[in-house]
Amino acid sequence: MSDAIDRCIDAYLDHVRVERGLADNSVQAYARDLAKFAAHLETSGIALLQAITTSAVASFLVRLGSDGIGPRSAARHLSSVRGFCRHLIQERVLTQDPCELIQRPKLGSRLPQVLTVEEVLRLLAAPDAGHPRGRRDRAMLQLMYAAGLRVSELCKLKLADVDRRRGVVAAFGKGSKRRLIPIGDVAVASLEIYLVDRAQHPRSAKSSVLFLSPSGKALTRQTFWKRVLFHARGAGIQKPTSPHKLRHSFATHLLEHGADLRSVQTMLGHADISTTEVYTHVVAEHVRRQYRRAHPRA
């Protein structure tokens, strides 16, 4: 990799981390995508940023396809490269955008996979309420479904982020943007039970994190993901289940029961309503299935 290109990528990653306030996970994704792009430039004999052309970007997408990268992932790679090139234009390293004429790879009509309401209720009831870890897991699952949180948002919650009296949780999403989300009485009740256990944890006084591991540290995303799989199996749920699927289910179930799209967008923390609109297609497909099942002339 060219030292000049390497330095500019590092500077861009610092820019999106500090100036734009992107989360570490997003910055790491940019870093991986741009490392692949830099490796492609090197194998193509391009050592100077000024030599990046539209053809170089297009051939990068072709290489991704030949490596088995799907359209959705390729589109993300292109977005990373496009942001990098626009930054180079702002810094006057480039005078023209090599991505300007590149079209985004066409994505399929894949819709978010969701759990039914009955499956969600079984999952929420699966943790063992007779054990402290089960009560913690139940509180986490209840809160995640009640507020539609991302798993990273859930694991980073502080004690002060939950107002149990008002029934509100403050989540910090992408770009460290804060949003307030209402939560129901059931989630609040589960939290109240868990907090009694938490107060008895030997290291609870030293941590402001809401959900603690047995060692007294914040629970990791990977650990919670494993706990969700464990409880999904215990609930007899056959379809693949993940924390993010619980977030998809939150949005879909709200829309199915009459919530307006703007409110769901606000609760999910989507900057663009088009991101939220995908759930309306899930609801429409659900309606079509019910029609075909129930209508005598379907």
Q: Which residues are catalytic?
A: 150, 174, 244, 247, 270, 279
Other beta carbons within 10 angstroms of residue 14's beta carbon come to 11
For tokens 């810094």, the residue is: 91
Q: Which SS3 state, helix, strand or coil, does residue 69 take?
A: coil
Q: Each residue of 124-139: b (16+ CB within 10 Å) or e?
A: bebbeeeebebbbbbb
Q: How far is CA 61 from CA 8, 35, 152, 239, in A?
A: 21, 14, 30, 33
Q: Tell me which residue of 75, 94, 83, 71 sits closest to 30, measured CA to CA.
A: 83
- Asked if residues 157 and 98 have their Cβ atoms less than 8 Å apart, the reply is no
- Asked if residues 246 and 137 have their Cβ atoms less than 8 Å apart, the reply is no
**Cβ-Cβ contacts under 8 Å for 179 (sequence gap 6 or more):** 170, 171, 173, 266, 267, 269
Burial class of residue 288 (count of CB atoms within 10 Å of its CB; 0-12, 13-18, 19+):
exposed
d(CA 217, CA 143): 19
For tokens 């029609």, the residue is: 291
